[in-house]
Amino acid sequence: MKTLFERIIAREIPAKIEHEDEHCIVIHDIDPQAPIHLLVVPKIVIPRITEARSEEQSILGHLLLTAASVAKKLNLEKGFRIVINCGQDGGETVPHLHVHLLGGRPMTWPPG
């Protein structure tokens, strides 16, 4: 069965797309936790960061560089936060690794 993100990538489920290239898609989160809350999703399924393989290193780097590029495009020069949830206790709700890009307000610490 396809993950939610695979269905979005296949255009089976609509999403507000901010950016797309051959390796990933960047969509607006449907339950934003900040004024800007985007998800940077690889087009290949990596269930979670603990299951990433060494041959996926370049796609993992691409996700972070894409997040930084989109943050710049959205004028988040005052700062932003990047989050990857892993496992139930880490807040993972979809078994398809993705990077949260949050900005548009001051972030607090600790984050959880």
d(CA 90, CA 56): 21
d(CA 96, CA 107): 25
Q: Which helix (H) or strand (E) holds 41?
A: strand 36-42
Catalytic residue status for 19:
no
Q: Which of the residues 37, 96, 98, 100 is marked catalytic? A: 98
Give me the active site residues, please.
Answer: 98
